[in-house]
Chains A and B, each alone.
Chain A
Amino acid sequence: MLPALRTLVAAAACAIASGAAEAQWWLDVPTGGIPRTASGEVDHAAPAPRAPDGRPDLSGVWEPVKTYSRDLAEDLVAPREIPYQPWAKALAADRADGSESREDPPAQCLPQGVPRLAGAPAPWKIVQTPALTVVIYEAFTLWRQIFTDGRTLAAEVNPTWLGYSSGRWDGDTLVVETRGFNGKSWLDQVGNPSTEQLRVVERYRRPDFGHLEIEVTIDDPGAYTAPWTVRQRANLLVDTDLLEFACNENNRDVQHLPGGD
């Protein structure tokens, strides 16, 4: 947890203990049902909670442990290097020095795609129900719906920034497949490209109470010669919540960024 956030949480806890604060800002409300150690610290190593249907409950506010949105391949699992097609390699190399930064969609407050959104340095919240899991991302106040009701996606859909997601359980792992992307997203700030053929498979696992592990496979035959897989990790944030982040309120940066001339 960020030091300042910890201070805020501690202050809120003191206020509650003294009975001083009844009305609270959402940022400071203690989370219920949290396992604690004898000293009162959150027991992140406690077993992951279970939903009433017996599945692991992934619900909670999560914060990525690294800024994967900067470099999606920071924890590349396989293969050993990103299997670029020649044009994609040339484009990524062009973008890597920052000279095209103005063209990166989030620099213009357009959505960070999938899976970049989960690696942005902002928390996100999973709300899990049996037939639908919703993920709310603080970064640009975006959301995804992951349907676990057995539906499958048609071949022809209107392409979007975040695609269409459906999920199924593989043991204790939620496997999410997302397609129907618009091909405009940079997969990360480094500039790895995507096309409309992108298919993302995310495997979410909650090994204990305080940690989430996500294995993400990028399958985009439009830009890469083979699928490639990265690992992402997130930590549970307790006693706090998301805040609104309306990016395009006053975006002055774009005029100072190189590229687009």
Chain B
Amino acid sequence: MNVRSVATLVCGAVLAVATTALAHHSFPAQYDVNKPIKLTGKVTKVEWTNPHIFIYADVKNEQSGEVVNWAFEMGGPNALIRRGWTRNSLKADDLVTFEGSLARDGSRLVNARTIVMTETGKRMFAGSSGGDELPAQQ
């Protein structure tokens, strides 16, 4: 069994037990559940759109000082509305910490599971199609 098959099985097991949101595509094919990532940045754009919401944020590398714009995919508007979100929950210039899984294709893209607002400490689930909770690390 190759590495990809193992990852698919692991992700499949996670998906089977997690509370899933609207998933119109394969989560494990797009994101690597074994590459958890936590990034803090300033929101630059909110796309409150189907099939998934995308938040873009400038993330500063503390060592180099370089600022890079990342994309964070979340559930669809309906999944988020049912978790208490509104389209105004996140706005440009909000400082936010995202936790989720890194895209497999090397792009600066994360499937966000949770979002913490820096100012208020409020923690919100992102309606990830991989489930609300980060899986146990392998």
Residues on A close to B: CB < 8 A? 2, 4-5, 7-8, 27, 66-67, 69-71, 74, 96-99, 101, 104, 106-107, 109, 120-122, 138-140, 189, 243, 245-254, 256-258
Contacts and interface: CB of A to CB of B under 8 A. Distances in A.
Chain B contact-residue range equals 35 or more
A67 to B, nearest CB: 5
Contacts of B121: none
B84 A8 contact: yes
A253 B82 contact: no
A43 to B, nearest CB: 23
A66 B15 CA distance: 10
Nearest to B76: A245
Interface of B: 4-5, 8, 12, 15-16, 19-26, 28-30, 47, 49-52, 54, 71, 73, 76-78, 81-84, 103-105, 107, 109, 125
5 contacts: A67-B20, A101-B26, A107-B24, A139-B24, A257-B29
A249 B51 contact: yes
B28 A98 contact: yes
Contacts of A74: 16
A107 B49 contact: no
A258 B73 CA distance: 17
